[in-house]
Structure 1
Amino acid sequence: MPFYTPPVTTRQCVQFPAFKPPALDGSVTLVEAYDWHLEHSPEHVYYKYEDVDGSIGTIKWKEAVLAAYRAARIVRGHADNNAKFAILAVSDSITFGATLMGCMRAGFPPFLVSPRNSPEVIAGLLDKAEITHVFYSSDVATTKHAKAGTAHRPIQLIPLPTLDQLYSSDDVTAPPPVKPGFYDNALIIHSSGSTSVPKLLPVSHSTLFLMGASAWWNEIDLGSMTMNFAPTPMYHLMGSAHLAIATYSGVQIAVFPPTNPPVQPTAENFLHSIVATKSNITMIMPSILESLSHVPADVQKLARMDLVLYGGAALKPSAGDRLVEAGVKLMPGLGMSEAGVLCALITRPLGREWQWIRQAPYNKLHYRDLEDGTYELIVESHDGHYVDTANCEYAGKRALATKDVVVRHPTDPGLFKIVGRLDDQLVLSTGEKTNAIPLEAILTSDSLIERAVVFGRGRPHNGVIIQPRGEQAFDPNDLVRLAEFRDAIWPTVVKMNEFAPSHSRIAKEMIIVTSPSKPLPVNPTKNTVIRALATAAYEQEIIDSYDAFSLAEGGEFQPPATWELTDTVAFIRKVVRTVVPDLPSDNDDLFNYGCDSLKAARIHNNIVGALRATNCLSDGFPGESPYKFPTIKSLAAFVSTSGLSGHAHVDLKALKIAEVEAMLAKYSSSFPTHAPSPSTATESAELVFLVTGTTGGLGTNLLAQLLGQPEVKRVYALNRRGPPGTSLLDRHKVAFIDRGVDPALLDLDKFVLLEGDTAQSELGIHPAVYEEMRTAVTHIIHNAWPVNFNYAVQTFEGAVRGSKNLVDFALKSTRAEPPRFTFISSVGVSRNAGSEEELAPEEPILDLNLVVGQGYPESKWVVERMLQIAAERTPLKSVSIRVGQLAGGHSGCWNASDWLPVIVRSAAKLSCLPDASAPISWIRLDEAAASVIEMRDASGVLHLVHPRPVPWRTAFDTFSRTLGNVPIVPFSDWMGRLIAYAEANPEGGREVPAMRLLEYYKGIGPTGFDGMARVENISTVKAQVVSPTLRNMAPMSEVDAEKWIAYWKRAGVL
């Protein structure tokens, strides 16, 4: 494979002509560069350190290379060509580095094993790597671990060479030359094991080359400086990286003196080292920086440096801000064992924007939209950066899905900031997401708080486990002390809540305080809490906190004098406006003005408290009531009826019907008069489409197919504006690539991308563009729609208003006939219109009793009826297409977080898959899009499900076989295992993603997936007449299921 390197921007080591760099085109590997420097840079300083007598010791390149040669001779003396070596050592950097390079120079990529692992883990790692020889240090703890970790099979233990052996004055000849492949393993490390058993991670020569040579493509002459690596352990890639950085840039490396036992790093001796060695730059772990940030004199020493890099873990924002305010030139480094350095490592610091990371010039980074303003960072392997450990494909290339959650800079596309990990992302039962890391960082900035772990996966709202700092610890069973501590830290919690999205905010009752006898479990390497173990340790306390919160009497408000409607409205208004203060009126939807799951729970609890206080509630009051009645007026009517009757069993259906009818009346009372322009006689017959919602699965395929049709002159793609710093075009490119669609279609002149909002006047776009479309558009496909099955119909009013605005736009067309209107509806509208004996017809549904139940299909029905009424009163012709379950298309792409893929992804841990007897009518995504386009000139109602259903087992037998014959069990058994796993592993959503949809699966009912399948028991007779694609559609088969499996494997989720 050819290797591309960026052009040089900054020459290195200008001040030290004794350093002669090796070739920077990838032709000279690290081990070969050592030979180069022996000949070309023998007198250049490699290492600097303050010796025990206070003098400054140095080691030059000639000495370092000869030390590596001596180590290589020792290695060769113990093994043949089939040997595999590991280094398990607590050692100074100089001795460890020479031994590491000696292994490489002898032709053996060494395996660097952390001595902090247990003997059992060490044994497992040595077995995975098939190690035959282990170099170990002489300290008691490591010797004990080495012997225990190798006792299970013959492994030769070799004492780590001493400094005197390696840096002796004896002559040594060079070992036979080695010429490793550029993409061969240079060394092997392992993951930290913070979330699972440690994994082996190979590091190629190409990765080490990029680590070292990257200075030439950045902004600073690093080679003319001294870079301090004193406290960084050599068994960590961040520590051993100094070998490559020094080799290719010439920078002098400052370390602790080579003593035995080695110097144990502290904040104090690290500061002493940077001053004594006159270090300009350092690479440091955040824990030491946080310690130093509290001491002004120490901070001033850091402020004198040209650059302070940190990496390996997150730095608390409060600590970083203190350092930057004091003049420290702070910058994050981002590297991964799987892919090397992912940032411009040596560049100008960004001051107050110190948390932002600049992409390295040789990286190809992609941002997978998580649809909440954040992205997962994807690293593509290419001819200028080889990804050593890929776990997915991106645009057909090897790639690494990092699981790092980032945000983009609002103005600089080359900058991004890490805000958490997918593993740390908590998906609430409402579908909303919480990024725990930044919230925990704010909490731990409080001097009373040592550690914090936010929880809430699969729950309606979040809580937090807090470990008090040192002397603040107390027994949380002391309720007085607990209340005092909560009050003491509450200002910090308020600060966190102000930063957090509204759904991520934490109530005081949801603060759990740790017991001194049960501290939070910590990863010793990264000094971070192990989230899964922490939530498991406090599982019962978490359950108790939710129970207590849900049973809270909510006595914040005086109950009304009576539960008559007038008094109840006043009471509900006071309760609601306390948590949703910006609500304009009693008829506005709470959830459109900032209400979330936590606020809804507050409203519910205060209503329950008042009803109980007046002895007006003999049984339970539904927790979902704020969702079902999301306005003050509707909620008050429901509560009034409950209070007067003494129970909550009121005629909900009648209330819902009245609400849906009121919304329909509001948006169908009048329509514009169509007034075509006199010039329409000469208008073009070419097709021009306006399509809404073109970044999802169906929308992407609709857009791609329309762009690919020659008869289509233009396609306007209207989408809502994304989060700050995100490009709508980039979102489309990512969506096309992810779904196996050619992104080059987006470069066609016929493609017009619009940012707007259908709920606003003139669709939220520029008036000139609106006028242009009035004369040009021949067809509208309205695909965009919010999806949330918890919300009531009122919460979808913005989407209904947007549909009415599109109808008005169509009728304001200057063309002879208004544009044809295609509305993407849902089979949920007709779910009760058929029976087992009779398919639901492709007809309008006039009886609302068949529709009400969930706000989502209710809102779709409103638009269906609005279009039918418009067709009766105006020249507008429209078709509503009730779409069923969309499956992966011919590319196999099926969103990995959808309900079916997560079942398959959970099968390994649950050891089963669910069964069903009803047939499946899923339709391939690309074929669904083709069918919609073919239906564009139809009228009335059409159904889009597969006309040839196949047995459930067609897919699930294939899943079972592909996954190793996983048993297929009845739905009730599968649900039982899922619930049991969720209760035993509250943070286990990464390994069993079906946990994140547990409430959804529970809501399916006792009939399980049979009930879901019957929703699609609908007729497609009319649809098949107008759509050849639907009419001729091949049945789903095992081949489709195999394609889905292959896609999920490529995506790295299976």
Structure 2
Amino acid sequence: MATSAKFVSPPTDGSIPPSSISDFHLEHNPNHVFAILYDINNSSQTNVTHEQLACAVHRAAHILNPNGAIPQGTNIGFLLSTHAIQYIPFPISPRTPVSGIAHLLKSTQTSLVVAGGSQAINHIIPQLSNNLAEVDPPVQFIDPPSLDQVLPDLGKAEREPEYKPFPPLKAISGDTIISILHSSGSTGMPKPVKFHLEGLFKNLITQSIGRAYAQEGVRSGTMALPTFHGMGMFLQIFIPLYAGCTQVLFAPNHVPVVPTSNLTIKVAAATKCSHIVCIPAFLEEWSQDETAVAYLRQMKSVVSIFEVVLQIVVTQVTQIFGGGPLAEAIGNKLADQGVHFRSCYGATEFGGVTETSEVDETSDWNYLQFSPQVDARFIPQNNGDNLFELAFVVSDNHKPFELNFEIDGRPAYRTKDLVVQGEIGMCPIVRSAVMFGRERNQTGVLIELEENVSSMYDTQEGRSKTIDEVWPFIERANQTSATHSRLERRTIIFVDPARPLPRTVKGGISRPGALKLYASVIEEMYLGLEKGFGAADRIKPPRSWDTTEGIEVWVTEEIQNLLGRKVDVCGDLFQQGMDSLTATMLLRLLKDTLNASPHSNIRSGATKVNQQTIFGNPTITQLVQVLVQLSTCNNTTVVDPVSEALGNIHTMIEKHKVDWPTQGARDNQPVKKERVVVTGTTGGLGSHLLAQLLQNEKVEKVWAINRKSSKNNRDREINSFEDKLLDVNLLKSEELVFVDADLEDPKLALPNEIYDEIRREATIIIHNAWQVNFNLGLQSFEPSICGVRNLLDLAFQSTAPTGLPRFIFTSSISVAGFGGPGRRLSEISVTPEMASTSIGYGQSKLVAEKLLESARDSGLESCSIRLGQLVGDVKSGAWSTTDWVPSLIGSSVSIGSLPRAVGTVSWLPLDVAARSIIDTCVNRNKVLPQVMHTSHPRPVPWVDLMNALSASLVPLVNSQLPIVGFEEWNKRVAEAAESFKGSESDRYKRFPSTKIQSTIDGMVLADKELQSHEEVEHVESCGTVRLNTKVAKEFSRVLETTPQLGDEHVQKWIRYWGTKGLFVQ
């Protein structure tokens, strides 16, 4: 197989069509990287080479078209990239209404649909089947192949890919259809657009935008693009295949990644992208972030997309930005900040048709320059307003995918930028309608009434009645419109009869004139949306704010109306069709409804919900819990959620608890050397556990079990060790075995030989892996609870001559729930009643403890080790910036003060906690206790740590931060965050503690109560329970000898957080 260090460009004359391009690269560019997959969970990066891609294409071809039975040229829907399979791929947006999808399939005679991969799509299939029941030939649905089937070698660079070549395909001509895309459907039913081979090269690959990507070293961040979009298909598939650029994508994840602006720029920076693709809303947020703007200035290309229009921004040399209309103020702001860019234009129907060369003046960013390869024509509209319609005539170097007109005897495509009337125009009282708001998060409409009903405009009552009469037509339009095109009642503006819409000589509406005439009214409407004005006119609040059930019914109904489909109240909304735009619309609805309440305590809740409320509580159940908390503030008449939580805990325990076989007397051999299974080794505590196990002379073998990832676990572990300054050479040990597993599987999804090996040899199991998300309810942690049960089953099936393995579970202080300040907890079993006041995370850990207790009763030597607050070790200071303490410090830097609290803290460095756990595991002189605590036995006053933090922050803020009362500090943060004028993402970056505001509020209340407490030097701050460590100190001397937290620890934390970008000034 030939290889080349430099990318060998395929010909662009059509001689190598998409059906052959993978084989071309397999021969000429096998080692060239086609894509980089970035895992947001561990920041790992996995390369996908053209060799791997080609093998994957052949494997997928055999799976989807076994023996080549389906004829070449058959249309297939929902497919992303199947050019070598003989099919014509037709990717369809799952956000398209079912009626729109059915229309697309029928109109293109598509009889095969590859569908699946998410709850949203699985929900669509039965509805779609019913809609297509009478279609002949019948539509066949095919399950998509799994990632493991097509890329079994992913992340295993040392492995030579194996595959069976698919038979070569027949040659095709320039007019052969190679793919089908569809329009957004924002003006009615979505329209299919057929891509022919000739147009692929003339309209895209050889146009200016295509040449911009055909440069050495181009790395394109396309992670935020949907493949069903024209730009997605172009930049994620065709350009990397023909121009040779490397794209960056999110690694496959069991929970689909929602591309936020912060996440997109973070991944682009981490992977050193030279180009990036986004929506205009991202640019708006980045324009307010100095770090993001500085990064944009370095990039060669920033592409922002919106609907079918492409607008390109150029920064430095051949640089690109794209999208629908970027708000002029934002574009000017970026230009003023030194981002050099220019606008370009394009559409699915005719490709990219403008130049991307550098502009001389940044102020010229919103001007267009057509490519010399296209023949652009302007058709006069004869309305006296100098209005023209843009058209493109077929030329030697450009051939639109669609042709609908003829100019000078030559075929052409008229772009038809027309006023949208559709369903609204069918209303008998509507004379005309003009939609607006493409650069906004919410679409609006100008409606001009017929003369015989124009008097209804004169009164508020008349306008309200008019909305009621028009609304059924708008609802029908909304049902067949994409999410971003849907209208709501407050975005309807009626035209004043005294100021009629300007018209052309032919009687049509002059759209530019109409929008100019009502510009101030439109702007006033948008300002009202932001402030919630007029919300009461459309709001239908819950029948009662006093019951969880009533709120849940209301939230469910509103979200189903928003998404246009039924949803599972316990399921992740972002897997059921919600995106960032619908999340924004839901947020506005929640704010408006709370603000409209006659009760002040409910109205006050409107200031406490934000975008993170939606993203951080992605199920209806979680959202309802938040709303109940907000709406029942200081209300003691509501149903006690603790009782419900207690019932859920008991149900979960009984569901997973079993009667394990009681162990009889066995003649066990003594343990000479430990053979340890440890789960979750790529995180903070897990990395320290693994490092110390590999250094422990009592241990001779370690199985490091982690969930399967796109990047092999050894590489993930190396990254984690490097981050924490641990000895990476330890990972070369022959004693170490990395194991990919799925703990939810009864046999952990392990190969039989590994499972049996562990049964035969393991002497200790340390279960450390657990989902960490303090927003989720107990039910969401059931997969983690299943993992405990399955590992316990493995322990009971042991055939080791040394007997059943010891089983250690890393539990949490949160099992104790939340109660009055000054509490102490002994190393004994905790009741479900205590955990019922905790968060879902703590409740799930309590359920696991109860499973271990049951196993212990059956003869398994088990121990739940409850961990207190763990902090960065003194060597590296590595402490996750998303934890509550660094979030608090980040906000403190932004407001210029630190919070004072009474009492002490018993925070323990990660490395010390790991040593304590391992000392306990390998101590064979004693039977393991049922429960043990790992917490610092010598607490330090909270205020002492704040003083140390203040001193350590001096180099960053140029002076010591004053320490103020916790309540005053909380008030300052809230006021600063509320008055902050930047984007939501920037607000969280500057005031990260606001993400956990309810937790902070609880700490403030606990601190107020503690201020009247006696002997606060023996009480934990902020209502935290103090863990007794008497038993732990008997098993491990490390707790007795570890020094108190002090300046050295604090300085390392500050240094580490600084490298992770925590502090924003």
Highest Rg: 1 or 2? 1
Query: Could you state the TM-score of these two structures normalised by the residue count of structure 1?
Result: 0.50
Query: Could you state the TM-score of these two structures normalised by the residue count of structure 2?
Result: 0.49
